[in-house]
Structure 1
Amino acid sequence: MTLIRFLLRKSWKLVVGSLIAGLVSGLAGAALIAVIHKGMSESASTMTLAWGFLGLAVLVAGTKALSEILLTRLGQSTISELRLQLSRNILNAPLRQVEELGSHRLLAALSDDTDVIAQAYVQLPLICINAATTLGCLAYLGWLSWPVLLLVVGFMTFGALSFQWQEQRAVRLFERSRETNDALFRHFRSIVSGIKELKLHRTRREVFLTTQLSETVRAYERDFVGGMTVYSFASSWGVFLFYAVIGIVLFLWPVWRQTPAETITGAALVLLYMMGPFSQIVELLPGVGRANVAMRKVDALGLSLTASDATDAAAQKKPQAVQPIRPLWRHLELIGITHRYYHEPGDAHFQIGPIDLSFRPGEVTFLIGGNGSGKTTLAMVLLGLYPPESGVIRFDGMTIDESNREDYRQIFSTVLSDYFLFESLIGLERETLDGEATTYLERLQLRSKVRIEGGTFSTQALSQGQRKRLALLTAYVEDRPFYLFDEWASDQDPVFRKVFYTEILPDLRARGKAVLVITHDDQYFALADRCIRMDFGKIVGMSDGSMGTADSAFTHMESSPADLELFK
């Protein structure tokens, strides 16, 4: 089972120790039954039996507790590592893969799947102890009468096979409910993100609730209840088989074979004692089945947990860059770069390139063009978040590839159009941080709104434009060689928009930073050192040097009169 393999891979010593303790507990429990049986059979109990009973009772309780503690401790440490590993795998996965999976699937894996697996780890100690108790009882039953043991094992084998057949049906239903759960998370995200739109359109809200959300909720309920129903029938079938074998031993076995009454009584007593742990195992198996579905779902997302050790080992052996990425640099080149989107494998949808560009320190470049022209995609490739399908990126003559792309990304500070603002200046801890950040708060006209203490923002209850200024502050204190802003000024008022173009960008240039600004603010095009226009994934116009007017300074490449009109 996937779950058991994952548990063993994490700490086989604790698993073995727990299983040994559980086995001792089970055997001691079987021995306790033997003592009870013997005490019932003899006319008067002896002190030897009494002390034996007491010792075995203490041994059963102690080893049961030890087994539970070991496996619970292992289970909780493992689930913590599982959550961290899954988060690490998501962060290490290619950005394109993460985007294609969608946030709803990732949130379902991080929350629902890990919760299901965590619950299974809590149940595993009980399953192991009950299994050990069942084995101990079978051992004592074999000592009483091996023919009776064969009869019981035959019934248990038949019950296990029929249970497995029913379990396959239940697992299929659980898998369907897990797939539906992804859709549920997508709908929940729609409620949170689109609540204003839903409130403003009653018909849309009602259709969303009564069709999309309601149908998905009902589908999840149907499949989940169906799976649990199958397990309930399987559990009841197992209980019936136990009663059947007890009836056979008590009423039919003495007719078939001459067997001492003491043996029959002992066998019936053992079987009755076994029913408790065996029934509990069957009741806990649905949770384990759901956990295995969750583990397979995580693996199917391409965020494998079962192979995480191998992945980590491979990452540690990753070849290093021939040269280190230096914060002081001279030249960054994109040579023949292309990148494509795919709806399905092999189905190319949109391509940028081939593109040849170069950037230098102390240079402000504007990247302009219509929506969907490929500007943001080009930015993602430049940042090293999307690998180019062809062409190369060279940083001071060093080719950027998988061996050094992570180091290469560290030269960039960004405020993207879909930026995320953390609650603190995480990863920037230093003694002077609060003072530096407060200085920038003054400059960004946020001092009256926000305080920074210990690198943490006092509030984020700000307007969209003010939040973007906080994101800009974060980029400022990072103090990296290359700055990229994607439509940063679009949410700013006219006054602060002018501050951005006439004060902030010139300041970055003066500090020797390379700056790439994706923008539509044509009234400020003349302030750039260079302006590059994209259309349909290609560079169709470029100006070098200080710009007088947008259209007179452009050198057009593959551009048409209609393209030129966009600059006027």
Structure 2
Amino acid sequence: MKNNVSENSNSQLIPLKPLIGYSLLAIISGLSGFAFITIINKIISNSITATETQPMQNYLYMFAGTIVIFFVSRRWLAGGVIKLSQKIYWDIRKDVIKLILKAPYRKLQEYKEEVYATLTTDVNHVSNASLMVITFFSSIILIAACLVYMAFLSLKLLGVSTVVIALGVLIYALRSKSSNTQIKEVRELEKTFITIFNSILNGAKEININADKGTQIYDQRLMKVATTGETKYVTALLKYLNSEIISQILFYGLITFILVFSGTVFQTPIATKVSFTFVLLYLMGPIVSVMTIIPVMNRATVSLKKMNKLKEDLAKIEKPQNVSHKGQYKDFSDLKIRNYAFSFGENQFSVGPINFDIKRNEVVFIYGGNGEGKTTFINTILNLYNLDNGEAYIDGKLVPLKELEKIKNLFAPVFSDFYLFDAFYGIADVDYDKVNKYLKLFELEGKVQIKDGYFSTTNLSTGQRKRMALINVLLEDRPIIVLDEWAADQDPYFRHKFYTEIIATIVRDEDKTIIAITHDDRYYNTADTLLKMEYGKLEKTNISELAEIF
């Protein structure tokens, strides 16, 4: 699986076969435009020299044929490029999201802002550039054809024109270097902007209570990024614009020279001067197109490098896939964890070594102060964090550290910072009888309806949304339910119902095992095993010794 993803992520951005076809259409389109200008030139030249040999009706047929070829090729080309650009746009997004789905949780947190920037800014830059690639290529073909025709008209004038055009290209290229640097800097600012935006979005409640927080974030951080980004981007594009204007001035100077001085200097006939000038004026359009597209291509190049770097990084950290082991330990009797240890880094908080036993249908409560490592421990047994050391035994059979992904399918969690999806995703066959049973048990009848697997609403209170999340994990039908402060957002009545009725129902009727982090000490006596987390260590507590609490 990993190899397949890596190959996909490094595959060609633009499919080769369509690119060849569109390139041929671009050549036909460009040459038809060139044919049109050639016919006009021929008519003008013959009119000036009074050597008309073709009846005007023949030119009409030529014009009609050229226009039809141009229209058909241009229409097919434009339609194809639009389809291709959208395919590129969505394929890039799909590739990145596939890699995200396969990336380890903890590592993925480091790439959140980069992922947002890629899926918004970078993808748009690349898809916009892909729309212009064929136009760029078509313009190059047209420029080449015009230069060949200009050589046929006058080699001397072509030589002068080539020097002027080369000078314009050189000025444009030299000035573009600093513009490209600024475009890269603007791309980096996009990542910072998204970080600030997320802080505003995620901290909306706090900002609503204290508006000064939002004002300070906006004034001191957002405005700085926005002003810097705007200034750099405008400066970069103005440099491109100035270079373009300089090139056009050189172009107009060239035309002036040809019309005013070439007859004296090179003894160029008037018909040749007119034809040559007409071709030059026609050539200005493709040259301006090329110069206009170059900044877009440069932005796309910067974005493409960022995207490829992100895809390579995500592919490197891709977690191993063990789909074949799904349900392997579903009928387990006991799970033993030995010497589990995890650290956030040298001289940083760590948990372990932890030894932990749980039997089927057991209810285990874990308590302890804030910051003692309870949630970190849960994340380690769920294999969201890669352990530094440890092994597990299921029914006495060793599952070594490198194969712990195998036992992930034992667990179905509801996190303290859970996310409620809008449907029963990941469940092949939804048992709607069970859904209705759970809705009644969790007192959500009339508040949420289920249609085609989707919830009628997720706009519920936090406690009600947690109930829906628990219903979802029950339908996943995994043997161990993991709850992180699940009851903290329930009202007193339902909290009491959860500990005294719902837990027993889940264990008895659904054949489940429960591991729950909780601070509700008045209900500790409903657990079979009570564990205390302190300084990253897990110790068993004798429930009978805490009788005075209950």
Q: TM-score scaled to structure 1, two decimals?
A: 0.85
Corresponding residue of 1:206: 215
Corresponding residue of 1:339: 342
Helix, strand or coil: the match of 1:391? Answer: strand
- Contact kept, 8 Å, 1:27 with 1:135, in 2: the verdict is no
Matching of residue 159 in structure 1 with residue 159 in structure 2: no
Equivalent-residue separation in structure 2 for 1:89 and 1:230 (angstroms): 38
Equivalent-residue separation in structure 2 for 1:7 and 1:280 (angstroms): 29
Corresponding residue of 1:226: 235
Helix, strand or coil: the match of 1:338? Answer: strand
Corresponding residue of 1:144: 153
Q: CA deviation at 1:283?
A: 1.9
Matching of residue 57 in structure 1 with residue 67 in structure 2: yes
Corresponding residue of 2:441: 443
- Structure 1 spans left out of the alignment, 5+ residues: 553-566
Equivalent-residue separation in structure 2 for 1:289 and 1:515 (angstroms): 55
Deviations 1:482-537 (A, max 9, x none): 21101101111122112222222223333432221111222222222222222222
Matching of residue 290 in structure 1 with residue 299 in structure 2: yes
Say if 1:202 and 1:267 are closer, same or farther in 2 by CA, change over 3 A: same
Matching of residue 303 in structure 1 with residue 311 in structure 2: yes
Matching of residue 463 in structure 1 with residue 461 in structure 2: yes
Helix, strand or coil: the match of 1:326? Answer: coil
Equivalent-residue separation in structure 1 for 2:294 and 2:11 (angstroms): 16
Aligned positions, number: 534
Report the AA paired with residue 529 of structure 1: D
Say if 1:255 and 1:41 are closer, same or farther in 2 by CA, change over 3 A: same
Matching of residue 367 in structure 1 with residue 366 in structure 2: yes
Name which of 333, 339, 347 aligns with 1:330: 333
Equivalent-residue separation in structure 1 for 2:546 and 2:147 (angstroms): 88
Helix, strand or coil: the match of 1:39? Answer: helix
Equivalent-residue separation in structure 2 for 1:332 and 1:362 (angstroms): 12
Name which of 521, 535, 544 aligns with 1:548: 544
Moved more, 410-419 or 39-48: 39-48
Q: CA deviation at 1:442?
A: 0.6
- Contact kept, 8 Å, 1:368 with 1:532, in 2: the verdict is yes
Report the AA paired with residue 544 of structure 2: G
Say if 1:85 and 1:496 are closer, same or farther in 2 by CA, change over 3 A: same
Name which of 232, 246, 261 aligns with 2:255: 246
Equivalent-residue separation in structure 2 for 1:377 and 1:348 (angstroms): 16
- Contact kept, 8 Å, 1:23 with 1:136, in 2: the verdict is no
Q: CA deviation at 1:395?
A: 4.7
Matching of residue 42 in structure 1 with residue 46 in structure 2: yes
- Structure 2 spans left out of the alignment, 5+ residues: 1-8
Corresponding residue of 2:31: 27
Q: RMSD value over aligned CA atoms? A: 3.1
Equivalent-residue separation in structure 2 for 1:523 and 1:327 (angstroms): 32
Helix, strand or coil: the match of 1:414? Answer: strand
Corresponding residue of 1:12: 16
Matching of residue 83 in structure 1 with residue 93 in structure 2: yes
Say if 1:254 and 1:474 are closer, same or farther in 2 by CA, change over 3 A: same
Q: CA deviation at 1:119?
A: 2.4
- Equivalent residue runs for 1:453-492 within 5 Å: 453-492=451-490
Equivalent-residue separation in structure 1 for 2:174 and 2:401 (angstroms): 50
Equivalent-residue separation in structure 1 for 2:221 and 2:153 (angstroms): 62
Deviations 1:73-120 (A, max 9, x none): 111111111111122222222211221234x44333322332333322
Corresponding residue of 2:4: none
Report the AA paired with residue 21 of structure 2: G
- Contact kept, 8 Å, 1:532 with 1:543, in 2: the verdict is yes
- The percent identity for this pair of structures is 28
- Contact kept, 8 Å, 2:44 with 2:275, in 1: the verdict is no
Q: CA deviation at 1:253?
A: 4.2
Report the AA paired with residue 160 of structure 1: V
Report the AA paired with residue 215 of structure 1: K
Say if 1:320 and 1:513 are closer, same or farther in 2 by CA, change over 3 A: closer
Helix, strand or coil: the match of 1:485? Answer: strand
Helix, strand or coil: the match of 1:410? Answer: helix
Corresponding residue of 1:127: 136
Name which of 86, 91, 96 aligns with 2:106: 96
Corresponding residue of 2:244: 235
